[in-house]
Amino acid sequence: MIVEQVWTGNSYRNFNYLVACAETGEALAIDPLDFKKCLAVADERGWNITQILNTHEHSDHIGGNKGVVNATGATIIAHKDAGNRIPNMSRGVSAGDVIKVGKTVELECLDTPGHTMCHICLLSRTDQPGLFSGDTLFNAGAGNCHNGGHPEELYETFVTQLETLGEDTLIYPGHDYLVNNLEFTLDRESDNAVAQQMLETYRGQDPDDALVTTLAQEREMNTFFRLSSPSVIAKLVEEHPELGDSPDPKAVFLKLRELRNSW
Ligand SMILES: [Zn+2]
């Protein structure tokens, strides 16, 4: 499996992806908003884009479908319930379905509601797994829920699915929000040395050559994985006494998600 992270350079800071089979040169385009860039990268590498996967229905994820389809005839895959929101979708997928790319690449579909209720993450079946996490999980952050999502569902997705992935899973999110998210982490947990160090190292990073984190790293510096951190809880309880002295992880997650919206 070859992964090409395509930085769009737009104001929403979208990342698009090409996932290719090294043997056949067939490629899957994930959320190819900047379809010209995606087509140019495929061209350069000698790849054929045969399929598109939309992680979810938002326009900054599906807006490049037409351009890719016109140029390549690729088919469009998305969550089974996204059909009325994504034009010309030809395959609807559910949890456990597998998307094959060429002869060597297999990507398992995870049904990950929360950011929207039709959100798919892809997990590669490779020695070191890769998670294409769309707007569910960002580097050092979590997706918002104010355009068709639900925070409770996002919490469930985090604890029942993302938390259970292997520590060495590589995280490929739909946007580059690393710096902003690390700043939020430090706002909530000022003694988080890992987040502090990472912010210093990557504050001025070139998104064309962005840091790819692992789940192990996320656990150390992503507030939404740090629901039992004593400093996260202490600050939250001090500011929001209505949470009680020892709020459960779900209450912590929901309050953090709410605070992130207005931060
Ligand atoms: Zn979105």
| Cα-to-centroid distance, 66 and ligand 1 (Å) | 18
Residue % of the chain over a pLDDT of 90: 99
For 144-173, the three-class secondary structure string (H helix, E strand, C coil) is: CCCCCCCHHHHHHHHHHCHHHCCCCCEEEE
DSSP annotation of 87:
T
Cα 88 off chain centre by: 23
- Report the mean per-residue pLDDT for the chain: 97
Ligand 1 centroid to 123 CA: how many Å?
Answer: 19
pLDDT score, position 52: 99
| Residues facing 26 on adjacent strands | 48
Average pLDDT estimate for 258-262: 95
Task: For residues 29 and 224, give the distance between their C-alpha atoms in angstroms, rounded to a whole number.
Answer: 28
Q: What is the pLDDT of residues 137-163, one digit of tens each?
A: 999 999 999 999 999 999 999 999 999
Helix, coil or strand: residue 58: coil
| Confidence band for 73, pLDDT divided at 50, 70 and 90 | very high
Q: Residue 255: pLDDT band by 50, 70, 90 thresholds?
A: very high
Confidence at residue 152, expressed as pLDDT on a 0 to 100 scale: 98
User: What spacing in Å lies between the alpha carbon of 202 and ligand 1's midpoint?
Assistant: 24
CA 217 distance to own-chain centroid = 15
Q: Is 186 helix (H, G, I), strand (E, B) or coil?
A: helix
Give the per-residue pLDDT at 263: 86
Residue 177 Cα to ligand 1 midpoint, Å, equals 13
Structure tokens, 24: 């056949």
| 209 band by pLDDT with thresholds 50, 70 and 90 | very high
Tokens of 41: 């990268």
What's the residue count for the chain? 263
* 234 in Cβ contact with 226 (< 8 Å): no
As a whole number of angstroms, the distance between CA 118 and CA 193 comes to 36
Joined together, the tokens standing for residue 212 give 């790819």
**Vertex 119 angle, CA 132 and 149, to 5°:** 125
| Residues in the 5 Å CB sphere of ion ligand 1 | 58, 135
Gap from CA of 14 to ligand 1 centroid (Å):
10
**Ligand 1 centroid from CA 40, angstroms:** 24
Question: Percent of the chain beyond pLDDT 70?
Answer: 100
C-alpha 246 – ligand 1 centre gap (Å): 32
Distance 73 CA to ligand 1 centre (A): 25
Q: How far is the CA of 169 from the centre of ligand 1 (A)?
A: 22
228 alpha carbon to ligand 1 midpoint, in Å? 27
How close is the Cα of 109 to the center of ligand 1, in Å? 17
Q: What is the mean pLDDT of residues 121-149?
A: 97
Ligand 1 centroid from CA 61, angstroms? 7
The alpha-helical segments, DSSP class H, found in 163-214 are 178-188, 193-202
CA distances from 57 to 20, 102, 138, 197, 261 (A): 23, 25, 17, 35, 21
Mean pLDDT of 228-235: 97
State the average pLDDT over residues 216-223.
98
3-state secondary structure (DSSP) of residue 197: helix
